[in-house]
Structure 1
Amino acid sequence: MLGASSLVMGAAIAYLVRMPRWSTASIMSFGCGILISAVAYDLLEDGFEEGGLLPIVAGALAGSVAYAVADWVVSARGGHHRKQSGPGQQSASQGSGLAIAIGSLLDGIPESIVLGLTVISGKGLSVAMFAAIFLSNFPEGLSSAIGMRHAGRSPAYVFGLWAVIAVLSGASSLAGAALLQGAAPQLLASVNAVAAGALLTMVVNTMIPEAVDQDHKVTGVLVVVGLLVAFALSNGN
């Protein structure tokens, strides 16, 4: 829930402070880099060491395809620009609050399950993965709240929506820890890989395109900086 709470924080800032689009794009780019690094080193590499190559390959492909199909369905119903704060988000938010909420859950559930799995892995909570989730949620809450505000949604609707998503994300993390407690290493590796495939597909399908669209000049640099920060966190530096 704490990782998903940045959705609510972002929405609050959208109502209290007028932030330029480049600032949300910069946060999103930095979050992309952290998320890519956390997926590669905290999920795929650790999963490979625990379960071998086959569970990683099969799980990552399954997660990627499942996310791509679900994202296509959500996008077709008005949730495509859920991470955008420009005119596209403002027009897409007309009547598409449910699609935005479902899209946010689609992004957040794999992340939350992974957090639950890191708790039962014996290595403690992954700081890099937590940071990636927190930072990737913040611009989504901020930009989507801006769009929904322009579409005439009330503050109660916006904050209620993100609060529910934060609670459901926390429940997903709890489920990941509770249901997979004591599971075989190969199964844990497969679940991590499914989440990794979904998260990487989410980054490529939604986060990077929106970051580049809003401010492409420094997107690549900030992604690299985020990746290096997460790499340092993963290695205890």
Structure 2
Amino acid sequence: MLASLGWGALAASSLVVGALLALVRSWSDRVVGLVLGFGAGALVASVSFELAEEGLRIGSAYAVAAGLALGGLTYFLADRGVQRWGGRSGGASAGTPLAVGAFLDGIPEQAVLGIGIAAGGAVSPALLVAIYASNLPEAIGSAADMRAAGRSRGSVVALWTGVAACCAAATVAGTLLADAVSSDGQAFVDGFAAGALLTMLIDSMVPEAKEKAKDWAGLATVVGFALAAGLSLLG
């Protein structure tokens, strides 16, 4: 359990690092878009090799399919709720919906990390890279928006530290859940996380990467996929 918490904290620390980077200097849209594209590609590989494949190996296709459907629907509904909240917020209060959105993205990612630790007893390097690369640009962009909305540096760092702590706890929850359920239950959890991540990728990360990095987004995505796929095969 301590190992799960430690790896979860390491992965979630990228949210705090991203917030600090946003406070140190401004970053061009192209750089943020390239990192987003890289992270998206890495997450696609993780969904393929760490979740869907593993779920089908340990449980039934029906369990994975049910998890995919429910995970995608859950993320979709929760994300719509956050968007409505953000639309009603203005000024400095706009930072809170942004943090909730990052939390919503981070929970399935970090839970998957915990599930992998429970299944194999070790962390997946590919998934760790994917989480880190996907968190950085999101935290950079969101923290910069919070600062522009009038939040102090201290409150921005404190808010993102809290989000990171919750995401790290999700890693432990993923480990406990995977240990407590049957093989089909684990396959369902794998499918649920995969569905949530795929919905997040298509609805959020990929469009933003394309918008910011333009024609370079596709190449960055391929690089991220290739690296994560290679790490998955080596692991």
CA distance, structure 1, for counterparts of residue 60 and residue 195 of structure 2: 16
CA distance, structure 1, for counterparts of residue 91 and residue 138 of structure 2: 13
Counterpart amino acid of residue 55 in structure 1: A
Q: Does the C-alpha gap of structure 1 residues 231 and 79 become closer, same or farther in structure 2, counting only changes over 3 Å?
A: farther
Q: Is the 8 A contact 2:99 2:142 kept in 1?
A: no
Offset of residue 94 of structure 1: 4.4
Where do residues 135-154 of structure 1 align in structure 2 (5 Å cutoff)? 135-154=133-152
CA distance, structure 2, for counterparts of residue 43 and residue 180 of structure 1: 13
| Equivalent position of 2:70 in the other structure | 62
| Equivalent position of 1:83 in the other structure | none
Where do residues 24-173 of structure 1 align in structure 2 (5 Å cutoff)? 24-78=32-86, 94-122=92-120, 124-173=122-171
Question: Which region of structure 1 is more displaced relative to structure 2, 26-35 or 180-189?
Answer: 180-189
Give TM-score scaled by structure 1 length. Answer: 0.91
Residue among 182, 185, 194 paired with 1:184: 182
Offset of residue 122 of structure 1: 2.3
How many residues were matched structurally? Answer: 227
Counterpart amino acid of residue 56 in structure 2: F
Offset of residue 182 of structure 1: 4.6
Q: Does the C-alpha gap of structure 1 residues 134 and 92 become closer, same or farther in structure 2, counting only changes over 3 Å?
A: farther
Question: For the aligned residues, what is the CA RMSD?
Answer: 1.8
**Percent of residue pairs bearing the same amino acid type:** 38
Give TM-score scaled by structure 2 length. Answer: 0.92
Residue among 187, 196, 199 paired with 2:197: 199
Counterpart amino acid of residue 57 in structure 1: A
CA distance, structure 1, for counterparts of residue 178 and residue 193 of structure 2: 14
CA distances 1:144-168 after superposition (whole Å, capped 9, x unpaired)? 1111111111111110111001111
Residue among 171, 175, 190 paired with 2:173: 175
Q: Does the C-alpha gap of structure 1 residues 102 and 49 become closer, same or farther in structure 2, counting only changes over 3 Å?
A: same
Q: Is the 8 A contact 2:40 2:221 kept in 1?
A: yes
Higher helix content, 1 or 2: 2
CA distance, structure 2, for counterparts of residue 182 and residue 163 of structure 1: 29
> Structure 1: which 5+ runs fail to align?
81-90
CA distance, structure 2, for counterparts of residue 16 and residue 124 of structure 1: 34
Q: Does the C-alpha gap of structure 1 residues 216 and 162 become closer, same or farther in structure 2, counting only changes over 3 Å?
A: same
| Equivalent position of 2:3 in the other structure | none
CA distances 1:47-75 after superposition (whole Å, capped 9, x unpaired)? 10110211111100110011011101101
Q: Does the C-alpha gap of structure 1 residues 96 and 213 become closer, same or farther in structure 2, counting only changes over 3 Å?
A: same
| Equivalent position of 1:231 in the other structure | 229
Counterpart amino acid of residue 33 in structure 1: G
Offset of residue 6 of structure 1: 0.8
CA distance, structure 1, for counterparts of residue 31 and residue 143 of structure 2: 15
Q: Which stretches of structure 1, 4 residues or more, deviate above 3 A after TM superposition?
A: 91-94
Counterpart amino acid of residue 224 in structure 2: G
> Structure 2: which 5+ runs fail to align?
1-8
Q: Is the 8 A contact 1:32 1:207 kept in 2?
A: yes
